[in-house]
């Protein structure tokens, strides 16, 4: 039942925090939103690439932990936590800042952050897709016609191109935000069918201009990237062998004392890399070093490409076998596509290693991960 699924102590903590801070959350289409902008915002609307994508969130962690954590980097213009019908979060969220520089700083500071014992956040650049391709339009369609239909959805620019049919055109529509584009995508097919008796296709379109934040080259979709993997359903990846110790990472800027109290953290010693920093640097490297230090043998990764989700995530099932451990580790990870198939596989392997590290940490029959890491470094 729902009572068994939800942690009511966590929910009570969220309610207490909302009242104490006078924070307002709005439930909209499977997500719970703060800001967009908040009442206290006095700056301009953020430009593109000011948003980060947060994954690997424990299902019972809510905004009372996440918003103070990500606000510690800079003021939040918006925070969106994806929710399911049970009241748990879906494991991922989006945080938008005032600029791309602040977003990059958030990635630097919080990627690999241990939000709970054994749970490390993944923080990456958000794709922020803002372009839709509307197909099967009549050849006589003009930009003015489309703007009359879509002006209240936050349309920024409309361009037309011929085809794919002889008597058809397609429209590339740029929106002011990913949110307005998402809302338009959900309802445009029905709107055109009801008002004009037209059956359209509405798909995501890659940004018209390339940038470092685009996870795929222009006009290449997750489906086209994934197609070569269908020919190779089983991917056997060996963890890299290395005798080089993990680098001593630079210490992150100090966190305000009030924030430390909010999330229950303690500051790391100035010259000692924290577990979060080591995990952020390379989970596969850390898992490799952990297995070597405990004489368990080299981990062997078997990864199977599963499918592309409707949200463009690529899903992989995996089995990780460690010679010194009888039972293999099995599970499922999801990652955003990289620039190439190789970089995407590397991201998937890092996500797999991170899950294995979390499971080792949570296993009471094994030595604590931190004690082993300390012996390594």
Q: What pLDDT does 85 receive? A: 80
Note whether 115 and 141 are same-domain residues: no
**Could you tell me if 121 and 12 lie in one domain?**
yes
pTM above 0.75, yes or no: no
Q: What is the pLDDT of residue 211?
A: 36
Is 239 within a domain? no
User: What domain range includes position 331?
Assistant: 283-361
Cβ atoms of 300 and 286 within 8 Å: the answer is no
Instruction: Choose one of 125, 152, 183: the last residue of a domain.
Output: 125
CATH of the domain at 62: 3.30.70.330
In the chain, the number of structural domains is 3
Res 153: pLDDT: 63
pLDDT at res. 320: 92
Give the model's pLDDT for residue 24: 92
Q: Which of 151, 178, 204 delimits the end of a domain?
A: 204
Tell me which of 140, 174, 204 is where a domain ends: 204
Give the residue ranges of the chain where pLDDT is below 70: 1-5, 150-153, 207-281, 310-312, 361-377
Are 88 and 174 in a shared domain?
A: no
Measured over the CA atoms of residue 20, residue 22, residue 28 and residue 32, the dihedral's sign is negative
User: Cβ contacts of residue 227 below 8 Å, gap of 6+?
Assistant: none
Q: What share of the chain is helix, strand, coil (3-state, %, to 5)?
A: 35, 25, 40
CB 67, CB 79: distance < 8 Å: yes
Does residue 376 sit within a domain? no
Burial of 256 (0-12, 13-18, 19+ CB in 10 A): exposed
Domain co-membership, 12 together with 118: yes
Task: Please check whether residue 169 is in contact with residue 189, taking contact to mean a CB–CB distance below 8 angstroms.
Answer: no
Specify burial of residue 135 (Cβ count, 10 A radius: 0-12, 13-18, 19+).
middle
């Amino acid at each position: 039942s729902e009572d068994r699924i939800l942690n009511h102590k966590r929910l009570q903590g969220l309610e207490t925090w909302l009242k104490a801070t006078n924070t307002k959350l709005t439930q909209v289409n499977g997500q719970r939103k703060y800001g967009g902008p908040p009442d206290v915002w006095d700056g301009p609307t953020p430009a593109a690439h000011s948003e980060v994508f947060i994954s690997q969130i424990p299902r019972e962690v809510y905004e009372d932990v996440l918003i103070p954590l990500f606000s510690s980097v800079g003021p939040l213009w918006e925070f969106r936590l994806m929710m399911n019908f049970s009241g748990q979060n879906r494991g991922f969220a989006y945080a938008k800042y005032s600029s791309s520089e602040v977003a990059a700083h958030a990635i630097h500071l919080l990627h690999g952050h241990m939000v709970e014992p054994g749970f490390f956040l993944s923080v990456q650049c958000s794709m922020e897709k803002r372009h839709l391709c509307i197909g099967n339009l009549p050849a006589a369609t003009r930009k003015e016609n489309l703007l009359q239909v879509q002006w209240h959805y936050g349309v920024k620019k409309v361009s037309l191109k011929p085809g794919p049919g002889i008597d058809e055109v397609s429209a590339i529509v740029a929106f002011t935000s990913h949110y307005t584009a998402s809302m338009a995508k959900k309802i445009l097919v029905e709107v055109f069918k009801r008002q004009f008796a037209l059956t359209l296709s509405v798909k995501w379109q890659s940004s018209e201009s390339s940038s470092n934040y685009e996870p795929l080259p222009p006009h290449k979709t997750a489906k086209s990237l994934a197609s070569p993997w269908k020919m190779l359903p089983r991917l056997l990846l060996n963890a890299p062998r290395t005798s080089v110790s993990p680098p001593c990472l630079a210490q992150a800027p100090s966190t305000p004392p009030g924030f430390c109290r909010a999330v229950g953290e303690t500051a790391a010693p100035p010259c000692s890399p924290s577990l979060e920093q080591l995990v952020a640097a390379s989970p596969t490297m850390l898992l490799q070093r952990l297995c070597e230090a405990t004489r368990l043998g080299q981990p062997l990764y078997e990864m199977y490409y599963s499918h592309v989700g409707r949200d463009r995530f690529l899903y992989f099932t995996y089995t990780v076998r460690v010679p010194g451990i009888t039972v293999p580790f099995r599970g499922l990870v999801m990652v955003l596509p990289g620039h190439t198939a190789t970089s995407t596989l590397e991201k998937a392997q890092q996500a797999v290693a991170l899950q294995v590290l979390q499971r080792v940490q949570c296993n009471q029959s094994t030595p604590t991960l931190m004690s082993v890491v300390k012996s390594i470094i």
